[in-house]
């Protein structure tokens, strides 16, 4: 099963996640924005927050939207103004995620991502990490999240439907009750 982590990072937290997932066998694709974000913290907060707030889709440099070789797609974004970052708005627009096992890794300053989560909750499972560049223990949370994801391919007996909440009591597929079942074949 081929797995891809596609992500954006401006200040390095996403890169820490990418290093971790690369070690776990994920291919890595980092997107680069054409927009020049200011180095000055205040200006960055203002312009980045504003662009995220109105859902701007940044133009990306050499963006490759071919994910046909992958079964599993993990999308990583920093949280800006409680939302998905502008480069990842573009990724969400350009990728055809149908039929893929999808999850989201958000990294934020406070460990919250309410508006971003609300937006993607029907597309895939979500984990929110607090500044993994600074707090390395956050990767332990990520490990648990990745392990608990349903990994069945063709042998799922649970009868729950892909993309729906798993309601089985005695789930054999590895995804757990109350979480979304992401298995492809049953």
Ligand X SMILES: Cc1cc2nc3c(=O)[nH]c(=O)nc-3n(C[C@H](O)[C@H](O)[C@H](O)COP(=O)(O)O)c2cc1C
Token pair 């994920």: residue: 26
In the chain, how long is the greatest CA-to-CA distance? 54
- CA distance to 6, 27, 60, 95, 96, per residue, from 128 (Å): 16, 21, 24, 21, 23
Examine residue 31 and tell whether it contacts ligand X (CB under 6 A): no
Examine residue 11 and tell whether it contacts ligand X (CB under 6 A): yes
The b/e string for 160-180 (b: 16+ C-beta within 10 A; e otherwise) is: beeeeebebeebebebeeeeb
The least CB distance from residue 54 to ligand X, in Å, is 13
Among 131, 132, 113, residue whose Cα is nearest residue 121: 113
Considering only the stretches 25-33, 72-80, 118-126, 161-169, report the one whose residues sit in contact with ligand X under the rule CB under 6 A: 72-80
Q: Is 3 exposed, middle or buried (0-12, 13-18, 19+ CB in 10 A)?
A: middle
Q: Which is nearer to ligand X, 80 or 171 (CB)?
A: 80
Examine residue 124 and tell whether it contacts ligand X (CB under 6 A): no
The least CB distance from residue 142 to ligand X, in Å, is 13
Examine residue 44 and tell whether it contacts ligand X (CB under 6 A): yes
Q: Which is nearer to ligand X, 35 or 186 (CB)?
A: 35
The least CB distance from residue 79 to ligand X, in Å, is 4
Among 78, 63, 66, 67, residue whose Cα is nearest residue 9: 78
The least CB distance from residue 67 to ligand X, in Å, is 21
**Which of 20, 63, 70, 80: binder of ligand X (CB under 6 A)?**
80
Footprint of ligand X (CB under 6 A): 9-14, 44-45, 48-49, 78-82, 107-110, 112, 131, 133
């Amino acid at each position: 099963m081929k797995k891809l982590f596609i992500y954006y990072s401006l200040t390095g937290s996403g890169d820490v996640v990418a290093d971790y997932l690369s070690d776990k066998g994920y291919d890595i694709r980092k997107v680069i924005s054409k927009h020049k974000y200011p180095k000055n913290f205040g200006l960055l907060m203002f312009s980045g927050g504003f662009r995220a707030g109105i859902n701007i889709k940044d133009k990306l440099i050499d963006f490759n939207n071919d994910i046909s070789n992958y079964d599993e797609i993990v999308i990583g974004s920093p949280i800006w103004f409680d939302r998905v970052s502008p480069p990842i708005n573009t990724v969400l627009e350009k990728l055809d995620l149908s039929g893929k096992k999808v999850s989201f890794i958000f990294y934020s300053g406070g460990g919250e991502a309410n508006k971003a989560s609300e937006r993607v909750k029907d597309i895939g499972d979500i984990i929110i990490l607090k500044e993994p560049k600074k707090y390395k223990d956050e990767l332990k949370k990520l490990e648990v999240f990745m392990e608990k994801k349903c990994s069945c391919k063709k042998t799922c007996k649970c009868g729950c439907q892909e993309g729906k909440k798993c309601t089985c009591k005695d789930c054999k597929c590895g995804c757990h009750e109350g979480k979304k079942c992401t298995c492809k074949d049953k």
